[in-house]
Amino acid sequence: MMRKVAIFPGSFDPFTNGHLETVRRAAGLFDDLIVAVMTNTNKRALFTPAERVALIEDCLVGLPNVHVQAHAAALTVDLARELGAQYIVRGLRNASDYTFETEIAHANAKMAPEITTILLPARGSEVGISSSVVKEIASFGGDLSDFVPAGVARALEAKFGGAHETSL
């Protein structure tokens, strides 16, 4: 029987509690789940790919079928093929995510009909969490405990070094 392999691609800069919830749920659906740390060419990264991989691995202890790998910018379907994945997992926080992700899923299906996209809607407290919001909270020294795992919160605090942005 063929193993069910999925990738969960994203920039994960930083990895949030919403990402963690998606990974936990997807880990129960597939034999192998690869968290693919990729580059978002539209954003300036706070953490290096190696830092993101290390932070995510720390969050995923106890999930033996989940692996974290950094990858260069590429089409997600090409990466899925390269890794032998039959599925792409994407998380949804709201209606705009749904619109955006279904458009990408349709394009991916045209390019790679053998790969299925699975959309997992966020639950409860994870609905409003985005990496951009987390970075904003961190930049002002806000409490990150409801938004990111503890190790990620410590890394964000170290990145911002206690010097918080101010506006006039």
Burial 64-81 (b: 16+ CB within 10 A, else e): eebebebbeeeebbebbe
* Domain ranges within the chain, ordered by starting residue: 5-160
Query: Average pLDDT, whole number, for the chain?
Result: 91
Choice among 5-19, 77-91, 152-166 with the minimum mean pLDDT: 152-166
Helix then strand then coil, % of the chain, to nearest 5 = 40, 15, 40
Residue type, 36: A
Fold classification of 5-160 is Rossmann fold (3.40.50)
Place of tokens 């409003």: 128
- pLDDT surpasses 60 at 100: yes
List strands edge to edge, sheet with 116-121. Answer: 66-70, 32-37, 5-10, 87-92, 116-121
Catalytic residue among 93, 135, 154, 159: 93
164 pLDDT above the threshold of 60 = no
The catalytically annotated residue of 3, 43, 123, 164 is 43
At residue 139, does pLDDT exceed 50? Answer: yes
The pLDDT value given to residue 103: 95
Q: What are phi and psi of 10, to 5 degrees?
A: 175, 170
Whether the pLDDT of residue 1 is over 90: the answer is: no
Percent above pLDDT 70 for the chain: 96
> What's residue 166's pLDDT?
47
Residue type, 53: V
Residue 92 has a CB neighbour count (10 Å cut-off) of: 19
Half-sphere exposure at residue 120, Cβ-oriented, CA atoms within 13 angstroms:
23
Verify whether residue 131 is a known catalytic residue: yes
Q: What is the pLDDT of residues 71-87, one digit of tens each?
A: 988 899 999 999 999 99
| End-to-end alpha carbon distance in the chain | 62
| pLDDT at residue 144 greater than cutoff 50 | yes
Indicate if 19 belongs to the active site.
yes
pLDDT attached to residue 168: 41
pLDDT digits (tens, 9 = 90+) for 14-28: 999 999 999 999 999
